[in-house]
Homo-oligomer: A and B are copies of this chain.
Amino acid sequence: MSRTVYLNGQYLPESEAKVSIFDRGFLMADGVYEVTSVLDGRLIDFDGHAARLERSLKALDMASPVGRDELLEIHRELVRLNGIEEGMIYLQITRGAPGDRDFVFPDPAETPPTIVLFTQNKPGMADAPAARTGIRVITIDDLRWHRRDIKTVQLLYPSMGKMMAKAAGADDAWLVEDGKVTEGTSNNAYIVSGGRIITRELSHDILHGITRKAVLRFAREAQMEVEERAFSPEEAKSADEAFITSASTFVMPVVEIDGTPLGDGKPGPVARRLREIYLEESRAAAI
């Protein structure tokens, strides 16, 4: 079945959703995005994603083409039109399509931003088999630009990282800079040592994960100890357990790093418990 997607005010069949070759998203990666999950046909942490979107746009001197309420309405309409029970909604806003290519930003009065949203139907996403077996990661150099807190579409290196992981027989890659893990290719990274949850502190170096924020709050509410600091691949390999978080994987246990199994090589109790809490609380708060 063909999806219905949203593009600049219109709901269209996906095959008709096209942008100009002069769109700055296409020519210069001048755009930002968000991915919001859907469970039980409702949106998970919509307001967190809407707030981060505003932050990304502001960092790039871009105005949002839609307010929070209209954005919510578009998300809900796409869920309805495409009959999504479990899945994701991808949203991208670019600086629009001026008539030509130029490094200088176009005048926003003459060039409106491009906004596109589409759904990804993922039945069974919350009950993903990978959550029961855990995933394996490799570590690779972090070669990305230095404003990873802005959620831009400059995703070539994360995509290359995923391919390096695949080539190594693993599921994902953790990025390493100055001897410390920054994050995963499209997720935040955590280890658990002596009962403490350790994850890198927020800065320009990592994405300010919406799922990260929620998970750390739930962990603290459950009296778990959280330490926000960087850790090395070596420390990670000797940790009791590890996991990642993202909007689409929720909390996903990591059972192997660079071929070294963690603990007994199975998903750890902290990751499993946090996944349970996250899914329960998020479903309850979904809109």
Candidates B27, B92, B103; contact of A186 at CB < 8 Å: B103
Encode contact with B along A90-132: 1 for CB under 8 Å, 0 otherwise.
1010100000110111000000000010101000000000000
Q: Is A156 part of the contact surface with B, judged by Cβ < 8 Å?
A: yes
A146–B144 Cα distance when bound, in Å, is 7
Which chain B residues lie closer than 8 Å to A230 at the CB level?
Answer: none
Candidates B5, B21, B145, B156; contact of A21 at CB < 8 Å: B5
CB distance from A111 to the nearest CB of B (A): 14
Complex interface residues of chain A between 168 and 198 (CB less than 8 A to chain B): 185-186
Candidates B103, B145, B153, B166; contact of A159 at CB < 8 Å: B103
A30 touches B159 (CB 8 A): yes
Which chain B residues lie closer than 8 Å to A94 at the CB level?
Answer: 26
Given A147-B143, A155-B29, A157-B145, verify A17-B17 contact (CB < 8 Å): no
Q: Is A154 part of the contact surface with B, judged by Cβ < 8 Å?
A: yes
B28 touches A156 (CB 8 A): yes
Which chain B residues lie closer than 8 Å to A145 at the CB level?
Answer: 143-145, 154, 156-157
Given A17-B20, A21-B18, A145-B145, verify A103-B185 contact (CB < 8 Å): yes
CB distance from A16 to the nearest CB of B (A): 9
Interface of A is mostly: mixed
A30 touches B101 (CB 8 A): no
Candidates B29, B100, B104, B155; contact of A120 at CB < 8 Å: B100
Looking at chain A, what size class is its interface with the partner chain? Answer: 35 or more
A153–B31 Cα distance when bound, in Å, is 12
A229–B142 Cα distance when bound, in Å, is 25
Which chain B residues lie closer than 8 Å to A162 at the CB level?
Answer: 103-104
Which chain B residues lie closer than 8 Å to A157 at the CB level?
Answer: 145, 147
A166–B104 Cα distance when bound, in Å, is 9
Q: Whose C-beta in chain B lies nearest to the C-beta of A15?
A: B20
Which chain B residues lie closer than 8 Å to A84 at the CB level?
Answer: none
Most buried by B among A29, A105, A145, A159: A29
Residues of A within 8 A of B (CB): 5, 7, 14, 17-30, 33, 60-61, 90, 92, 94, 100-101, 103-105, 116, 118, 120, 141, 143-147, 152-160, 162-163, 166, 185-186
Instruction: Give 14 A-B pairs besides A28-B159, A30-B156 with Cβ atoms closer than 8 angstroms.
Output: A14-B21, A17-B21, A18-B21, A19-B19, A23-B26, A29-B156, A30-B159, A60-B156, A100-B120, A103-B159, A145-B145, A145-B154, A145-B157, A152-B156
